[in-house]
Amino acid sequence: TYMFLKQSKRTITQLSKRIMSIRQNMGSTTVNTRYDGRMPALAKPKLAGKPRINRRAVALVGLAGVALGALVTLLLVPTPKPAWVSEDDPNATVSVTRLDYFDERQVATAPELSADYAALSPTYGVIRRADCTPGSIVSSGMAPFVVNNEPVLLLHTDIPLWRDLEPGSRGDDVTSLENELVRLGYTDVGVDDYYSTTTANALRALWASLGVANRTTLPIMSLIWLPTPEAVVSSCTAVVGAQITPGQPLFQAGVGLESVTVPLPETLLSGAREAVIGTSITTPLPESGIITDPEFLATLTKTRSFIEYQAGNSSQLNLTIRLVQPVDVVSVPASALYELNGAAGCVVANGSPTPVRVVASQFGQTLIHADPLPTSVLIKPKEAASCK
């Protein structure tokens, strides 16, 4: 109403100025006198010209009238009140709305991070590129660093690689390399202990994706071994333009999350619960509150919340938990409740005092659970009998 009044006042002020302008442009009547020795004679009035009608101004005047009429109607006609707010009828009831309630909560967790390790430079030279940010995730197959003119490949294998590998090489390190190439999507590679043509072709494609053409070998001085397929960067020591030597740390990283402990509030509704990321990634929440699901934890490490926490920009890692199966509740006016003691209380439901449990409150409405659920409640049970 305030905004409508303010706008109406502004509109009427503008129209008043427009009307004054119209009146000035409509012309004026002039009177001429002549003296011929006799009594002065008045000349016939002569109009200066036909007034011009500003149609736009006329339209604005009409609109102002409509706005003014609407304003008067708004001020004079009282706003109807809902029937349930009537204070005259002590027996007034209201129909209630049934809802599915998941008791969704966001809680601060206690994450258990794996031990950090240092990623060491494999070569000598000048760092020309360093795509390294605390909290970011690095993964096998990436090359975030360029030393001299050579990309440095991050590569995960089951066992650390210790030598140059090339066509014709044999050994368990070759088998480990081939397993990782298959995991990275090079499915034509035959997994054995022999560096075959298919292995060489897969390496050629991997190097080409990093900007290196026609390389079918794996020089040990061009790669950093990762103990896991992915790692979370905790700190960066590599600086563009700096001289680097073999064994010098480039960044510090951790494998990620080993577990997350979720403290369970005492006010939770009973029932099986789950932790959820986004709208669809879930895992069962054990009674202990400790989540160890590796796939769920791997997804959690990719969320902004974890990245901010790992980088030290957030003091806690939050996680959403909810009921697996929702509880049926109804929404009632807060005034319908009486004899409240904690979450327990009473309402007059369908004419009878009924025990209920309060599960949430919002915007003047209270969500309650009861068995059975009421379909209507007394709005103001001033002298109702106890339900206990």
> What pLDDT band is residue 291 in, cutting at 50, 70 and 90?
very high
pLDDT of residue 28: 44
Q: What is the pLDDT of residues 91-103, one digit of tens each?
A: 788 888 888 999 8
Judge residue 22's burial from the number of C-beta atoms within 10 Å of its C-beta, 0-12 exposed, 13-18 middle, 19 or more buried: middle
The pLDDT score that the predictor gives to residue 41 is: 45
Span 212-234, pLDDT tens digits: 999 999 999 999 999 888 888 88
The pLDDT of residue 25 is: 60
The encoded tokens of residue 98 equal 């049934």
Contacts of 222 (CB under 8 A, 6+ apart): 122, 123, 150, 151, 152, 153
pLDDT digits (tens, 9 = 90+) for 308-329: 887 778 888 999 999 999 989 9
Average pLDDT, the chain: 82
Q: What pLDDT is attached to residue 132?
A: 92
Q: What's the confidence (pLDDT) of residue 48?
A: 46
Q: Annotate 226-286 with DSSP letters as a single string.
A: ESSSEEEEEEE---TT-EE-TT-EEEEEE--EEEEE----TTPPSS-EEEEETTTEEEE--
Considering only 88-92, 167-171, 229-233, 335-339, which range has the smallest mean pLDDT? 88-92
The pLDDT of residue 367:
92
**Hunting for tokens 């333009």 — which residue is that?**
241
- Are 223 and 122 in contact, with CB atoms under 8 Å apart? yes
Res 166 pLDDT > 50 = yes
Distances (CA, A) of 180 to 183, 186, 193, 299: 5, 9, 13, 20
Q: Evaluate if residue 22 carries a pLDDT over 80.
A: no
Residue 34 is predicted with a pLDDT of 43
Mean pLDDT, residues 148-159: 95
| CA separation for the pair 323, 320 (Å, rounded) | 11
| Rounded CA separation 4/8 (Å) | 6
Condensed to tens digits (0 to 9), the pLDDT of residues 81-139 reads 444 444 557 778 888 888 899 989 899 999 988 778 899 999 999 999 999 988 788 99
pLDDT tens-digit readout, 236-248? 999 999 999 999 9
Report the greatest alpha carbon distance in the chain: 137
Identity of the highest mean pLDDT range in 2-6, 145-149, 348-352, 378-382: 145-149
Site of tokens 């102002």? 64
Task: Give the pLDDT confidence score for residue 277 in this predicted structure.
Answer: 93
pLDDT of 57 > 70? The answer is no
Q: Assign 4 a pLDDT band (cuts: 50, 70, 90).
A: low
Give the torsion sign (CA, 372, 374, 380, 383).
negative
Q: Is the per-residue pLDDT at 19 higher than 70?
A: no
pLDDT in tens, 58-82: 455 555 555 555 544 544 555 444 4
Burial (CB < 10 A; 0-12, 13-18, 19+), residue 198, is: middle
Amino acid at 332: V
Give the separation between CA 76 and CA 277, rounded to whole angstroms: 52
* Residue appearing with tokens 């669809």: 280
For residues 372-376, average pLDDT: 89
The whole-angstrom separation of Cα 134 and Cα 307 is 8
The reported pLDDT for the residue numbered 64 is: 53
Global pTM reads 0.51
The whole-number pLDDT of residue 155 equals 97
Residue 183: pLDDT above 80? Answer: yes
Q: Quick one: pLDDT at residue 72? A: 47
Portion of the chain with pLDDT greater than 90, in percent? 45
With b for 16 or more beta-carbon neighbours within 10 A and e for fewer, the 269-293 pattern comes to beeebbbbbeeeebbebeeebebeb
pLDDT, tens digit, for every residue of 41-51? 444 444 444 44
Q: Is 2 exposed, middle or buried (0-12, 13-18, 19+ CB in 10 A)?
A: exposed
Predicted confidence band of residue 151 (pLDDT cuts 50, 70, 90): very high
Do residues 169 and 196 lie in contact, with contact meaning Cβ atoms separated by under 8 Å? no
pLDDT at 359 over 80: yes
